[in-house]
Amino acid sequence: MTATDPGDRKPGDAADISSRGGPRATLTPALTVTASLLGLCLLWSLAANAWPSRAFPGPGQAWQVLLREAASGDLFYHLGATLGRVAAAYVVAMIVGSVIGILLGSYRGADRFFNPWVILFLNIPALVIIVLAYIWFGLNEVAAIGAVAVNKIPNVVVTMREGARALDPSYAEMAAVYRFGPLDRVRHILLPQLQPYLAAASRSGIALIWKIVLVVELLGRSNGVGFQIYLYFQLFDVAAILAYTLAFVAVMLVIELLLVQPVERHATRWRRRPA
Amino acid sequence: MQPVGAVAPLRVDIAEKTFKSAQGISVTALKNLCFEVRQGEFACLLGPSGCGKTTTLRILLGLDRQFSGSFQLPEGGSKNRIAAVFQEPTLLPWRTVEENVRLALPKELRTKNLDGLFDTLGLAGMRSLYPAELSLGLARRAALARAFATEPAVLFLDEPFVSLDGRTADQLRHLLLAVWSARPTTALMVTHNLTEALTLSDRIIVLAPRPAHVLGIFDVALPRQHRSPEATSDLLRSFHRQFPGVT
């Protein structure tokens, strides 16, 4: 009967074409990324050769350390410890931050009252929170993860507050008329509308969290990438510091490619153009 | 026509509804608005644009509780549920057409067979599409499907055919009558289109401009299947005799 009008058709058709050109369209970006990374490595090794110093090892040396640490199992032990802390802090920060952010975005009075608190916490340096957490709660895992989460929560609050302010009331009214249950409202009305904001908070969150986790490990933990970096800093072993850094960056890249992007693709499948 | 399960009529008695504008000036939208819709009857609320029709509907839908007066919704259907077709289709863009319809259903009806309904509305091939892939006309059909699938005790429609071209709107009116006749439900439709009201309804509740109150009732005695274009223009003439000045 009435099909989509011609004006609406165009984006869909464009998407068809790009997906039909499949292998080449997906291969070209991958090649570009590989070439770009190889170029960076080349530049690094040229610079290391031009300025030979123990403080600036080339990619080959870093790779050797990486293989040695991997063979002994140390690499995976410390990567795992850091990854666990990142995951725990991320989950806590996203849940607590989202709940507070949605509440502040929904109730103007509460927002006016608590906004100064949000600004205050946004501006407390990460180091202060970490030190205070260790002093007050002791050098333990809960204090470490809590301190990282508290550092991230204000950012999540600010992003999710914007998301809650942008909620479309007509969907909530539809849900009220058709008597959606509370769970259905969260799953089918609230979360899909907040998805772009959740994605933004997640993206900036993971990067920030893992950097703060290293500081937490350096100051008060006896394992993790941060602890190892501090150890090799004292030994002045720059190759090992670079090896651990690159290993963790690689892990985060894999998470981004294999977890974050597919989840996002699934969440935005209803949009005609990938966001 | 047999009313299905409905026992009580829809009874509206709104004493007053006022709005506070941004400048703090209060505007009276409704005043002494009283009317009744009998069980199983399709009624239209006809009035000029901006007279408070949508406000009335929002009160009846329970979306606006700041008013004085009372109303009583019909009982029956599945658990006295109400259904609404809004001015915009208001489909969830992140759910398919079928998911949109099923989500509105109570738990015990979630898995019911919807083939007949989708067939009648010409949506059989579109159940797995997302709303963005539908034209406005199709999206409105999906909104109708959602409303009728819930087997409500009363159905509210807020100008569901505005911003459609004439042919599509006509087609949708026929589809609406087709699904409504299959299960006659007490229905109240808001419209400012007199011809539409004369085509669809059993009675027309004519509203005066702001503050809205009932000007009079026009009963459309002619059975729907006899409302040919000529018969409709006869109805139009007798309507104008009864309500001179109302278009």
What tens digit of pLDDT does each residue of B53-87 get? 888 888 888 888 888 888 888 876 666 788 899 98
Q: What is the C-alpha separation between A179 and B79, in angstroms, rounded?
A: 11
* Interface contact B243, partner A, CB < 8 A: no
In tens, the pLDDT along A132-180 reads 999 999 999 999 999 999 999 999 999 999 999 999 999 999 999 888 8
Q: Could you give the percent of chain A with pLDDT greater than 90?
A: 56
Among chain A residues, CA nearest to B155:
A177
Residues written for chain A: 275
Chain B nearest-CA distance from A83, in A, is: 32
Q: What is the C-alpha separation between A84 and B103, in angstroms, rounded?
A: 37
Task: For residue B11, give the 3-state DSSP assignment.
Answer: strand
Strand ranges (E), B38-183 = 42-46, 68-72, 82-85, 154-158
Q: CB–CB of A159/A197 below 8 Å?
A: yes
Nearest Cα neighbor of B152 from A247, A178, A159, A220 is A178
Chain B nearest-CA distance from A177, in A, is: 6
Q: Which fold has domain A79-235?
A: MetI-like fold (1.10.3720)
Where are chain A's structural domains? 79-235
* Interface contact B53, partner A, CB < 8 A: no
- pLDDT at position A80 is 93
**At the top level of CATH, which class does the domain B1-81+152-247 belong to?**
alpha beta
Q: What is the C-alpha separation between A181 and A172, in angstroms, rounded?
A: 12
The one-letter amino acid code at B45 reads L
Q: CB–CB of B97/B91 below 8 Å?
A: yes
Q: CB–CB of B33/B216 below 8 Å?
A: no
- Nearest CB neighbour to A270, from listed B88, B132, B150: B132
CB contact set of B247 (below 8 Å; sequence gap of 6+): B194
Alpha helices in B24-135 (DSSP H): 53-60, 97-103, 115-120
Over 90: is that where the pLDDT of B163 sits? no
Task: For residue A161, give the 3-state DSSP assignment.
Answer: helix
Q: For A26-50, what is the mean pLDDT?
A: 87
List the single range of A96-105, A121-130, A205-214 with lowest mean pLDDT: A205-214
C-alpha separations of B69 from B9, B34, B59, B154 in Å: 17, 10, 10, 20
Chain A nearest-CA distance from B18, in A, is: 20
- Nearest CB neighbour to A174, from listed B86, B138, B171: B86
DSSP B73: P
**Unique residue bearing structure tokens 């150890």:** A231
Q: Give me the residues of B, 95-134, that contact A with CB < 8 A.
A: 95, 103-104, 106, 122, 130-134
List the single range of A197-211, A213-227, B63-77, B174-188 with lowest mean pLDDT: B63-77
Chain B nearest-CA distance from A180, in A, is: 7
* Interface contact A271, partner B, CB < 8 A: yes
**Residues linked to residue B144 through DSSP beta bridges, in sequence order:** none
B93 chain-A contacts, CB cut-off 8 A: 270-271
Q: What is the C-alpha separation between B180 and B195, in angstroms, rounded?
A: 19
Pairing state between β B10-20 and B26-37: antiparallel
Over 50: is that where the pLDDT of A274 sits? no
- With a cut of 0.90, is the ipTM above it? no
- Nearest CB neighbour to A4, from listed B103, B133, B146: B133
Best mutation target among B58, B81, B98, B103 (most A Cβ atoms within 10 Å) is B103
CB contact set of A254 (below 8 Å; sequence gap of 6+): none
* Interface contact A266, partner B, CB < 8 A: no
Nearest Cα neighbor of B216 from B184, B242, B183 is B242
